[in-house]
Amino acid sequence: MDLALQRELRDVAHALADVARPITLRAFRAPQQTDNKAGPGAFDPVTKADRDAESAMRDLLGQRRPDDAILGEEFPAKPGTTGITWVLDPIDGTRGYISGTPTWGVLISASMEDGPVFGIIDQPYIGERFEGGWGAARCDGPRGLKALKTSQIRNLEQATILTTFPEVGSRVERAAFHALAKHTQLTRYGMDCYGYALLAAGQVELVVEAGLNAYDIHAPIAVVEAAGGVVTSWTGGPAHPGGRVLAAANTDIHAAALAQLRGRPDA
């Protein structure tokens, strides 16, 4: 991909984040209607801000990159002809969003057939924007612009591991996660996409999740890998289709965590 196209995709990605920020902030920690996308006995919330933010980003792409494809959470996929797909999650972590916690984010990535090439994790309330692609990653936030670099801790026993839900996914996936977590130093929950931002920033060493959709993981892959990390499935394959994801700060931590997950016959 030539440098001119890289610059254009990066500029468009930031424009998308800029247009989504005020929409998501207006309804954060404010009364709002929440719908449940799941069936009886389950809860998968969606808000007007989710839909409005994605609509605004789609409208902008219609102006700036009309021939690109779009894959978003709230509306049907749009085909394209350029080989580039914009993967959008207008509010990743809606449960956190409606609870008032600042762990949600706007996820934007420019992706090709074999995965994302550039991604943004934007946390509008804190004012932090994590970006990564083409071998460079950085964060612009309250402390200014800073390069991102993953942790150099190499021993699993010293690692901090994050996931969003204590149950992780299915009974089998929960057992596999907790078996791995027993070999780490610290386990934390409830991070949503912000966990991947912390991984890219060198604060933690592992994020392990299951049941993800493609729009949940494309932007985090781009940011984490550009910061020096490794992101795969639980079997070491590509992670961009979603499902079970293992994100690690470096190859040593990744190998150790992967060995633990692979060592469970039911995982």
3-147 has CATH 3.40.50.720 classification = no
- Is this prediction's pTM over 0.75? yes
- Determine the pLDDT at residue 264: 52
Q: Distance between CA atoms of 173 and 73, rounded to whole angstroms?
A: 24
Contact 183/255 with Cβ under 8 angstroms?
A: no
Q: Distance between CA atoms of 46 and 38, rounded to whole angstroms?
A: 10
Contact 27/124 with Cβ under 8 angstroms?
A: no
Tokens 């299915």 label which residue? 170
Residues of the chain with CATH 3.30.540.10: 3-147
Q: Count of alpha carbons within 13 Å of 18, Cβ hemisphere only?
A: 8
Q: Which CATH number does the domain 156-262 belong to among 3.40.190.80, 1.10.150.120, 3.40.50.300, 3.50.50.60?
A: 3.40.190.80
Number of other residues whose CB lies within 10 A of the CB of residue 67: 11
Q: Distance between CA atoms of 240 and 220, rounded to whole angstroms?
A: 10
Identify the three-state secondary structure at position 158: helix
Angle at CA 145, nearest 5°, toward 144 and 151? 110
- Determine the pLDDT at residue 265: 46
Contact 106/194 with Cβ under 8 angstroms?
A: no
Q: Which pLDDT tens digits describe the chain residue by residue (267 residues)?
A: 899 999 999 999 999 999 999 999 999 999 888 888 877 778 888 999 999 999 999 999 999 999 999 999 999 999 999 999 999 999 999 999 999 999 999 999 999 999 999 999 999 999 999 999 999 999 999 999 999 999 999 999 999 999 999 999 899 999 999 999 999 999 999 999 999 999 999 999 999 999 999 999 999 999 999 999 999 999 999 999 999 999 999 999 999 999 999 865 444
- Determine the pLDDT at residue 267: 45
Residue 75 structure tokens: 């509306």
Identify the three-state secondary structure at position 84: coil
Q: Distance between CA atoms of 267 and 174, rounded to whole angstroms?
A: 9
Identify the three-state secondary structure at position 39: coil
Residues of the chain with CATH 3.40.190.80: 156-262
- Determine the pLDDT at residue 38: 78
